[in-house]
Structure 1
Amino acid sequence: MIRVDGQIVSPGAGGVYNERMVQGYRVWDPYRSKLSALCMLDDSIDLSGTMRVLYLGAANGTTVSHVADYVEVVYAVEFAPRPLRDLLVVAEKRKNIVPIAGDATRPDRYAPYLEEVDLLYQDVAQPDQAGILLKHLPFLTTGGQVILMLKTRSVDIRRTPEEVFAETIERLTEGGLIVQKTFWLEPYHHDHAAIVCEVVK
């Protein structure tokens, strides 16, 4: 990842969401993007020009646009109509973004539009976040990486974030993943955790 003056940046054209520019790079605000927050907390997280990414929960394309600045292609899945419209506008200017109108709980419906990917990245506000992630493992290439942005309050508001986190780790492990590292995304995002995994082969 490229850093300028202690900030995460990306090398694409600006003007996606009025982001700041510094030395010709787009500033990737960790308070607006959980992936940027993770990169601020762990400098080993990286994206490369040969990577193919499946992004679940693309929303309006803010983080997707930064990922696309680094990688070969991003398959960006979003279900809600309003953010999907914004995502389509972002994809018009970045030809390596493949926007997919789809329900992440039903990957069979958009499987024909995908290929094997090197990174499976998920940021969805659903109760069964672990289950959704596990359904997409068949799209991950051998040696690929998984990053789950766990929104604990979306899973179960009645339980503590720590309880939801522990249960999610257990489900991912049972589903065939090795948890490599975890981070709570404070101070950037409250009650959110990043879980970085690899597949047991």
Structure 2
Amino acid sequence: MIRIGGVLVSPGEGGVYGERMIDGYRVWDPYRSKFAAYALLGGERDLAPEMRVLYLGAANGTTVSHVADYVEVVYAVEFAPRPMQDLIEVCRHRRNIVPIMADAGRPELYAGIVEEADLLYQDVAQPDQVAIALRNVPLLRPGGTLMLMLKTRSVDVRLSPQDVADEAVRALEEGGMRVAEVLWLEPYHRDHAAIVCEAIK
């Protein structure tokens, strides 16, 4: 991904959410995007032009729009009607985003319209975040990558964030994933961890 003077940027048309521009590139704010935080904190996974991305928890399309600047297509799944309205507006300016209004926990509802994904990116703040991710893994291509942005406080506030992350790693491994990387997203996102996995096939 592109950096200008240490600032993460993306190469698409600006004006999506009032983001700053540098030399014609959009500034990708790590405080507004967990993917940007992951990249700036040294995350090992990159985006490539030929990638197909299945994005769960698209919200209003802020991060989706930056990802779309880098990849071939983004299948953006969002359940809530109000954010979906904003996401559809983002899609008017980025033809490589496919908005899908559906429950990410029920991938059978959209499996028929999604191409095999190179990257499954999940940012769904639910107690069953890991289970939702595993239900969507069959939509990954062999050797594809799962990036789970784990919001530990949404899983169990009684446990420490580290304990929640450790349990998530165990569950992912039991679900047939090889965990390659766990990266905490402080100072940008408190009690969030990016868990990067590959399917064992």
Alignment deviations for residues 48-73 of structure 1 (CA, whole Å, 9 cap, x no partner): 11000000000000000000000000
- Distance (Å, rounded) in 1 between the aligned partners of 2:156 and 2:80: 21
Q: Matches of 1:78 and 1:44 in 2, distance apart?
A: 26
Q: What 5-or-longer segments of structure 2 have no aligned partner?
A: none
Question: What do the CA deviations read for 1:16-52 (whole angstroms, capped 9, x no partner)?
Answer: 0000000110000001100000000125321111000
Residues 43 and 183, structure 2, Cα contact 8 Å, conserved in 1: no
Matches within 5 A, 1:25-40: 25-40=25-40
Residue 112 of structure 1: aligned partner? 112
Conserved 8 A contact 2:105-2:132? yes
Correspondence for 2:82: 82
| Aligned ranges 1:45-194 → 2 under 5 Å | 45-194=45-194
* TM-score when normalising by structure 2: 0.98
SS in 2 for 1:172: helix
Aligned residues: 201
Please give the alpha-carbon distance, in whole angstroms, between the structure 2 residues aligned to 1:80 and 1:35: 21
1:20 corresponds to 2:20: yes
| Distance (whole Å) between structure 2 residues aligned to residue 72 and residue 52 of structure 1 | 6
**Residue pair 2:57, 2:123 contacting (<8 A) in 1 also:** yes
- CA-atom RMSD, angstroms? 0.8
Contact 2:145 2:196 (C-alpha < 8 Å) held by counterparts: yes
User: Which runs of structure 1 show a deviation greater than 4 angstroms over 4 or more consecutive aligned residues?
Assistant: none
CA contact (8 A) 2:185 2:192 kept: yes
Structure 1 CA distance, aligned partners of 2:46 and 2:110?
Answer: 27
Partner Cα distance (1:43, 1:13) in 2: 25
Q: What secondary structure sits across from 2:92 in the alignment?
A: helix
Question: How far apart, CA to CA, are the structure 1 residues paired with 2:144 and 2:43?
Answer: 19
**Following the alignment from structure 2 to structure 1, what is the Cα–Cα distance between the partners of residues 57 and 39?**
19
Provide the C-alpha distance between the structure 1 equivalents of 2:5 and 2:189, rounded to a whole number of angstroms.
22
